[in-house]
Amino acid sequence: MADITYKSKINKIRTFALSLIFIGFGIMYVGLLFKKIEWLMLIFIILGMIAIVFSTVVYFWIGMLSTRAVPIICPSCEKPTKMLGRVDACMHCKQTLTLDKSLEGKEFDESYNSKKQNK
């Protein structure tokens, strides 16, 4: 994992879906620059639409994941959050969370530390 900052998985996927929408519009905009070459413009617009449709799919996927996520109260900021899998981060304060005591501080220890140092 090359991630430097560790974010809540749900937030991460949400950011990904949101950026897909922007990428989609970006691609369509590029397509408009090729107005004179009709087939090229069409390809860009279709690609852009695919990206936007895909982001909608990702949004649905987040919805499904959310129902499977375990709701917990964050021990650090005491707000309710949801976690996916055995390890995740709090949506509010990015406190790392784990359901498995043996994994505590292991899986994303490095990224978590480097993030603290950056601040």
Residues within the interface to Zn ion (CB under 5 A): 74, 76-77, 90, 92-93, 95
Q: Which is nearer to Zn ion, 80 or 106 (CB)?
A: 80
* DSSP-based three-state secondary structure for 74: coil
| Cα distance between residue 104 and residue 101, in whole Å | 5
* DSSP-based three-state secondary structure for 47: helix
| Cα distance between residue 108 and residue 5, in whole Å | 10
| Cα distance between residue 47 and residue 3, in whole Å | 27
Q: Which is nearer to Zn ion, 4 or 73 (CB)?
A: 73
Question: Shortest approach of Zn ion to residue 12 CB, angstroms?
Answer: 16
Question: Shortest approach of Zn ion to residue 81 CB, angstroms?
Answer: 6
Question: Shortest approach of Zn ion to residue 97 CB, angstroms?
Answer: 8
Q: Which is nearer to Zn ion, 7 or 47 (CB)?
A: 7
